[in-house]
Structure 1
C-alpha cells in the first residue's frame, strides 16, 4: 500500500482551475503523491485545451503539439515493433486513438483502451474503436502493453500493474512513459513545472520510483528519453509562470534540459521497457 509521508512541494492546477494541491513523498522511494485527490477527476479534463483528448483546438501551440505527436508516433512504432513478435498489442490510455490507428495501418494487431468518453468519440470519428474498459479477463493475451503518460493519472498504479502483468504473455513486454521530476526543467520551474499537472497527475515518478513500483513483477530491459517532451513541458511551464517571451523561453530551457540529460541521464520524460518476470 502506498502511504503519504513528508511534503515535497506545494503547487496548483495552473492548467485549468488554479486550485492548490500538495505533492508529498511516499513510502515508496522515488514516488510522489498528489493530495488531495479529487473524487471526480472528469471536470479537470473537460476542456478543448487538453490536447491529448481533443483535436478541435487549432492554436499555433496545438498545431505544433500535433506535429510533434506525429513524429513521436513513428518513434513509438519502432519501439513497439522491436518487441511485438507478431503478437497482440494493447495501448492503455489511448487518448484520441492516433497511435492505435497508426499501428493498425502498419498491419500490427493493436487495440486501445481509453476511459474518457470524449477521447473515444474523437477516436471514433477517425475510424478507431477504443475499448471503454480494461480487458482484464484476457489473461496472457497481449505480447506488448504500452502506457504513454498514463500511469501518473491512475488512482491505484499498483493494482493496474498487477492487472497488466496477468494480461501479458509469459515473455510479454510492458512499455511505460513518464515525466521525470528530477529533470533540469523540473528543477528550474519547480512548482510551475507542467510535468506535475495536478490533480490530473495523481503520482509523480523518477527512475527509482518506477523501478521500485515494478520490481516484484517486471525487469527493466531498456530506457530512452523523450526529447520532444522537454519543449512541450517547458513552454507550458513558462506560460504558467508568465515569463516574457514564454514560447522562446520554453524552447531555450527545453534545449538546455535535453543537453543536460546527456550528462545527468535525467530527461524531462523517459520511456521504460520492462519484461515480465516469471
Structure 2
C-alpha cells in the first residue's frame, strides 16, 4: 500500500519575491584597476579619510533631526576593512622583497588553481586568504607566521592593538547582530560594565566615530613603524646582513624597503632615505 503523502501548508504572509535573472558577480569588480605604487600605509590612510568624509558630510546635513545608526555602523565596518586590507598588503609586499619573510612562508600551501593563474607578485595573497586580522592575537600571530617576526613586542604595539581589538568586537556586533551587543562580546568588554547592555543596540555619535578613526589611524601608524623597525633590524643583523654599507651600492635595494613603509601623508620630521640608511648603518656598527 502506497504511503500517504502529507500535504504542505502554504499561506502567503508577505508579498511575492521579485523575479530576478542570475546575478553576475564578475560585473561587480573593476577589471581595469591597476594597483598603485603608494606605500600600503598611505593607501590605508586614504581609505580612512574617505570614510571620515562620509560621516562628517552626513553630520552636517541640515534637517537631520536624529542620527541614523546604520550610517555610523557602516563607517565602522569600513574602518576595520581598511586596516585589514593594509595588513594584508604590507605582509604580501614584505614577503616579496624580504628573503627571511619569504623563507618563513615556504611551507605554506596554496591551491593548484592559484599557482596556475595568479601573477607572481600576488601569490603571497593566496596564503593570507584564510587569515583574519580582527584581533590582537591574530595580527601578532600573522607577523610571526608569515614574516618570521618572533620575540618581544613593544608596549606601544600591544596597547594600540588592545584598543583596535575593542573596535573589532563592535564590528562583530554589527555584522552578526545588526549592532546589538551579544553575550560573548559583553564578556570580552567586561561583564561588570556591560551585562545590562546585552541585546541593546550600538548608538554612536560624531565624537565617538571620530575617536574610532583616531584608534584606526594610530593602529596603522604603530604597526607600520613596528614592521619597518623589525624587518630592517633583521636585514642588518650579524646573521642576515644584506647590505654593503655604502649607500651608492645599496640605494636601489634599500629604496625598495624604504618606499614600502614611508608615508607621504604622515611623514616623520627626520625620515629621509639617507637618514634612515645612516641610522641603520649605525645600528649595524653597534652590534658587530
Scaled to the shorter chain, the TM-score interval is: under 0.3
* Larger relative contact order (CA 8 Å, sep ≥ 6): 2
Whichever of the two has the greater Rg, that structure is 2
Normalized per residue, the structure richer in strand is 1
TM-score (norm 2): 0.25
Normalized per residue, the structure richer in helix is 2
TM-score (norm 1): 0.26
